[in-house]
Structure 1
Amino acid sequence: MSMTLALQRAIQATPERTATVFHQRRQSFRTFGDRVARTAGVLQTLGMQPGDRVGLLGVNSDRWLEALMGVWWAGGVLNPVNTRWSVAEIVYSLDDCDTGILLVDDHFLHRVEGICASAKRPPRIVHVGDGPTSEGMLSLQALVAGGAPVDDASRAASDLACILYTGGTTGFPKGVVHSHGTLWSIGIQRLAQTPMPGDSIALHVAPLFHMGGIGRALVQFIAGQTHVLATGFDAREVLQTIERERVTDLLLVPTMLQALITHPEFDCFDLSSLKRMVYGASPIGESVLERALALLPDVEFTHSYGMTELGNATSNPPQNHGVQGRASGLSRSAGRATFGVAVKVVDETGQELPRGEVGELIACGPNLMLGYWNKPAETARALRNGWLYTGDGARMDAGGNVFIVDRLKDMIVSGGENVYSAEVENVIARHPAVQACAVIAVPDARWGEAVHAVVVPKPGGQLDDAALLAHCRSLIAGYKCPKSFEFRAELPLSAAGKVVKRALREPHWAGQSRKVS
């Protein structure tokens, strides 16, 4: 049950339907399938064996989707690289899962020298863009044009499909391992939860290296429907594209949705084609949701709650976004367990709690990850007796609706991106003038949550915001860097000597009904 079966079906059933639209370039499923089969042949010619990891560093494009399917068609495992990472973070992910081939688009050719200079085993670099290929690199477009298509490797459901890297509680990213079977479950569950009657045209603006983005792409492939791709999120470009391509389906994080509906030219575009809007990755402000519902009254809004480790766990359907749902408070919930998934709220011993009590949300289903790559201890903590422990504090009402109220794991969600405090703390602690530090989430009107660092300087050490920010930016992605700093003589400690982060958070979250934003 390989994900390539979805493409095979589309090629057979609707070969002339538009598969991808990228700027002015359009291609049918027949053409797309041929390029995928040729890409697979190129990868095999370069020495890729079944199960080998292939990295992909690039922005959203039709070539990205061709590479995605090409790796699977050839029998490989995709490592979609986070485009916002620093070179050091990229190299860590490549080294961690022994990625032998790295596909790089035009936007990231400047990163290649640094990657190859610091990787333990420098990957074979293949240029996948439309611009000129740098000296010493292979051109995938030239190789595809001159190569021959190969048969689908037809991987089994249990075979590995991708390793998606996310932040880690130990300060190092974790590779979330998904098989073809778990990805198929994620796609089918999303499609069942949010049906797409008639032809669907989905605009991909969420980055495809994220589970949210790649999950949306899987839905379109399974349904055999059209993908429209934008290299990134620009509110005006999204509005233009919806009008020009008659887009029906859109997935956004709340910060994107807010930027869209507050754009000064919002009323200048014909958005009547838009039928379904899915939002998620972080809680949404009530004022943002109310305004979006008022401006787009004919659009069905769905809130999806999930994570890299399982895709979706719960879904809040359009009916809960109506007048009655908003009046009852159900619009503020994360909805009920999505199809094929069971969820529970449990105490510290794993026992289910009575409805209304707050505990940790856990989930079970065929969509759960296989584990974290080469991290058995962290896998054992997250997966217990077939259940994934999400690290989110929640309560469940009598109707099975889940309300996320806190974050038990030390993680910050800023603009839909996960930031683990330990990773940022490790970087700050490497500054020679820092004695101790703690990183917490604070509410932020634009990003939902912002990274805030509380720092204790060494005696006589000279520290300021600018120096620490420059230090952080040299080692980690910009979205992980603190947006604000606070300097103290000491940190609050428990009797066991641990930092009491609750005491650091309390002033920032006072008066709020939940401790996530």
Structure 2
Amino acid sequence: MQFTQGLERAVQQHPDMTATICGSRSQTFAQLSARTKQLAGAFAARGLSKGSRLAVLALNCDYYLEVYLATSWAGGIIVPVNFRWSPSEIAYSLNDAACQAIVVDQHHIALIPTLRQQCPDLKHIFLMGGSEDSGDILGLDALIHASEPLPNAGAGGNDLLGIFYTGGTTGRPKGVMLSHANLCSSGLSMLAEGVFNEGGVGLHVAPMFHLADMLMTMCLVLRGCTHVMLPAFSPDAVLDHVARHRVTDTLVVPAMLQAITDHPSISDFNTSSLCNILYGASPASETLLRRTMAAFPGVRLTQGYGMTESAAFICALPWHQHVVAEGGPNRLRAAGRSTFDVHLRIVDSDDREVPRGEVGEIIVKGPNVMQGYYNMPDATAETLRGGWLHTGDMAWMDEEGYVYIVDRAKDMIISGGENIYSAEVENAVASHPAVAANAVIGIPHEQMGETVHVAVVLRPGCTLELDALQSHCRTLVAGYKVPRSMEIMPGLPLSGAGKILKTQLREPFWKGLDRAVS
């Protein structure tokens, strides 16, 4: 399969149907197809053809989708960039992936001089929109209007579609290599759960660089649905877009779900068109889910559990399990059951399957599992050992195959849908001159799922305030990775082997909650 296959199907079946809506702009599938082919032609004319890496740094918009489609049509490899990263983190990903070009929007144009200086392989910089060229920055609209359409390069199946960067356990971000088949498999599996139906209107709320939204993009493209773009999240804007554009489906992280559900004026908006809300990427408390079901009584909730390495989909908890029957099982605490294309096992440290009800690590295999980490063969071999993706998530399974996540073997924090690896933050904290040792953990937060907390051991004679540590960390890592709370300790709890006991550090924060770290 090809990422662009759904676009061709939509043009065959309903060319005059609205394909994208972004602010005051809208276009049909026929128009989107024409722009995609011409933009692909512009890329190819500049040497960006099969196998070339093209990055995109932008807020959500219709141009983002065009870049995705045109890069794929030309046979290139897309590298979405997290716009919340620091300039040095952005430059690292571009250099690591050997990106030859980048597309930026007006919000990030100030970063161009830095990227030029730090990324020597970057040959082309394109500006989203831009009816005219500005020096050596080429506007996409100008390129499209001046270019001939390119025939489909034929990339698909196991050809690489994108390199999607996620946090690194040693402070080095990892480029997850996903093929056309990986993402198409996950997209078809999600469609089989009954979301994004024919004629649907999907609202892009989560950032489009995030793989959760990429999975939604895949579903909307495969189904030939309308894309409505929301540049940046706010609950008012979400509710307004739902009412104005008769949105039927959307995907959010729990922090967004909470803000929407608890909006004081929610009853002022007409949300009757909304059929499906998908949520995932971080823990959602049972109390939040109950409030959401009360606020949207006619809407189907579907939870998706997964990770970047699995093309974002492993388990699904469908709408009909978001019910607690009298005397029946409470499925709201489950991550769901394995999706249609996934083999899932829960195993011990020797990869032997454990009995139902016993905690072990989730491992999976299937057509959705990544090809590996770019330029990281050792990490790839470790994560995909034995032909199974080792998730690092600890869970148990009941007699009906429902998976209940209880903890993470990997020291990863998920805050507002963003993956934060503790070692990366610990490296930043450790570079402060007052810090002798530190350990970073995730602690529960009603809106964000988790926030970053650091336990610090100070050097003799030193003092440290949280705001000073935060200012220091902001120079090294993205703002969302900066610790939100801190405790000073005389020493960190250690195991007999000298390893920091993070489970012991987390315990007082998570004890007694209705949902553990997941």
Q: Aligned pair count?
A: 517
Q: Deviations over 1:147-197 (max 9, x none)?
A: 111111111311110000001111111000001111111111111122444
* Structure 2 equivalent of residue 248 of structure 1: 248
> What is the DSSP-based 3-state SS (H/G/I as helix, E as strand, rest coil) of the residue aligned with 1:121?
coil
In 2, Cα distance between equivalents of 1:326 and 1:7: 47
- The gaps in structure 1 that reach 5 residues or longer are none
* Structure 2 equivalent of residue 43 of structure 1: 43
* Structure 1 equivalent of residue 439 of structure 2: 438
Q: Deviations over 1:430-472 (max 9, x none)?
A: 2233221111111122211110111222223342212210111
Checking the alignment, whether the CA contact within 8 Å between 1:193 and 1:339 is kept in structure 2 is: no
Q: Does 1:481 align with 2:473?
A: no
* Structure 2 equivalent of residue 77 of structure 1: 77
Residue 287 of structure 1: how far off its partner (Å): 1.5
Letter in 2 for 1:183: L
Q: Deviations over 1:104-162 (max 9, x none)?
A: 01111011112222224344211113588654412121111111111111113111100
Residue 379 of structure 1: how far off its partner (Å): 0.8
Q: Deviations over 1:176-232 (max 9, x none)?
A: 000111111111111112244441000011111111101101101111111111002
Checking the alignment, whether the CA contact within 8 Å between 2:303 and 2:336 is kept in structure 1 is: yes
* Structure 2 equivalent of residue 328 of structure 1: 329
Residue 315 of structure 1: how far off its partner (Å): 0.5
Q: Deviations over 1:321-350 (max 9, x none)?
A: 134299521122111111111111110000
- Taking structure 1 as the reference length, the TM-score comes to 0.97
In 1, Cα distance between equivalents of 2:498 and 2:349: 22
Residue 6 of structure 1: how far off its partner (Å): 1.6
* Structure 2 equivalent of residue 118 of structure 1: 118
> What is the DSSP-based 3-state SS (H/G/I as helix, E as strand, rest coil) of the residue aligned with 2:457?
strand
In 2, Cα distance between equivalents of 1:442 and 1:196: 34
* Structure 2 equivalent of residue 158 of structure 1: 158
In 2, Cα distance between equivalents of 1:130 and 1:291: 44
Q: Does 1:293 align with 2:293?
A: yes
Q: Does 1:185 align with 2:185?
A: yes
In 2, Cα distance between equivalents of 1:68 and 1:34: 14
Letter in 2 for 1:37: K
Checking the alignment, whether the CA contact within 8 Å between 1:104 and 1:129 is kept in structure 2 is: no
In 2, Cα distance between equivalents of 1:332 and 1:508: 18
Residue 260 of structure 1: how far off its partner (Å): 0.4
In 2, Cα distance between equivalents of 1:26 and 1:462: 56
In 2, Cα distance between equivalents of 1:375 and 1:200: 40
> What is the DSSP-based 3-state SS (H/G/I as helix, E as strand, rest coil) of the residue aligned with 2:306?
strand
Checking the alignment, whether the CA contact within 8 Å between 2:131 and 2:141 is kept in structure 1 is: no
Residue 3 of structure 1: how far off its partner (Å): 1.2
Q: Within 5 Å, which residues of 2 pair with 1:90-129?
A: 90-129=90-129
Letter in 2 for 1:467: A
Checking the alignment, whether the CA contact within 8 Å between 2:201 and 2:248 is kept in structure 1 is: yes
Checking the alignment, whether the CA contact within 8 Å between 2:91 and 2:119 is kept in structure 1 is: yes
Checking the alignment, whether the CA contact within 8 Å between 1:319 and 1:325 is kept in structure 2 is: no
Checking the alignment, whether the CA contact within 8 Å between 1:456 and 1:488 is kept in structure 2 is: yes
> What root-mean-square deviation, in Å, do the aligned CA atoms of Structure 1 and Structure 2 show?
1.6
Letter in 1 for 2:13: A
* Structure 2 equivalent of residue 492 of structure 1: 493
Q: Does 1:425 align with 2:426?
A: yes
Q: Does 1:213 align with 2:213?
A: yes
* Structure 2 equivalent of residue 508 of structure 1: 509
In 1, Cα distance between equivalents of 2:308 and 2:235: 25
- The gaps in structure 2 that reach 5 residues or longer are none
In 1, Cα distance between equivalents of 2:262 and 2:515: 25
In 1, Cα distance between equivalents of 2:267 and 2:102: 42
In 1, Cα distance between equivalents of 2:380 and 2:105: 33
Checking the alignment, whether the CA contact within 8 Å between 2:170 and 2:424 is kept in structure 1 is: yes
> What is the DSSP-based 3-state SS (H/G/I as helix, E as strand, rest coil) of the residue aligned with 1:89?
helix
Checking the alignment, whether the CA contact within 8 Å between 2:259 and 2:447 is kept in structure 1 is: no
Letter in 2 for 1:68: Y
> What is the DSSP-based 3-state SS (H/G/I as helix, E as strand, rest coil) of the residue aligned with 1:75?
coil
| Larger deviation, residues 145-154 vs 51-60 | 145-154
Shift of the 507–256 alpha-carbon distance from structure 1 to 2, 3 Å rule, reads same
Q: Deviations over 1:283-304 (max 9, x none)?
A: 2111211111112111111111
In 1, Cα distance between equivalents of 2:295 and 2:500: 45
Checking the alignment, whether the CA contact within 8 Å between 1:465 and 1:484 is kept in structure 2 is: yes
In 2, Cα distance between equivalents of 1:447 and 1:196: 26
| Larger deviation, residues 423-432 vs 410-419 | 423-432
Checking the alignment, whether the CA contact within 8 Å between 2:251 and 2:279 is kept in structure 1 is: yes
- Taking structure 2 as the reference length, the TM-score comes to 0.97
Letter in 1 for 2:296: L
Q: Deviations over 1:472-492 (max 9, x none)?
A: 111111111100112223222
Checking the alignment, whether the CA contact within 8 Å between 1:371 and 1:379 is kept in structure 2 is: yes
| Larger deviation, residues 304-313 vs 129-138 | 129-138
Residue 508 of structure 1: how far off its partner (Å): 1.9
Shift of the 195–450 alpha-carbon distance from structure 1 to 2, 3 Å rule, reads closer
In 2, Cα distance between equivalents of 1:499 and 1:385: 28
Q: Does 1:454 align with 2:455?
A: yes
Q: Does 1:222 align with 2:222?
A: yes
Residue 49 of structure 1: how far off its partner (Å): 3.1
| Larger deviation, residues 33-42 vs 441-450 | 441-450
Checking the alignment, whether the CA contact within 8 Å between 2:252 and 2:277 is kept in structure 1 is: yes
Checking the alignment, whether the CA contact within 8 Å between 1:320 and 1:326 is kept in structure 2 is: no
* Structure 2 equivalent of residue 351 of structure 1: 352
Checking the alignment, whether the CA contact within 8 Å between 2:196 and 2:202 is kept in structure 1 is: no
Shift of the 151–390 alpha-carbon distance from structure 1 to 2, 3 Å rule, reads same
Letter in 1 for 2:186: I
In 2, Cα distance between equivalents of 1:212 and 1:258: 18
Residue 495 of structure 1: how far off its partner (Å): 3.0
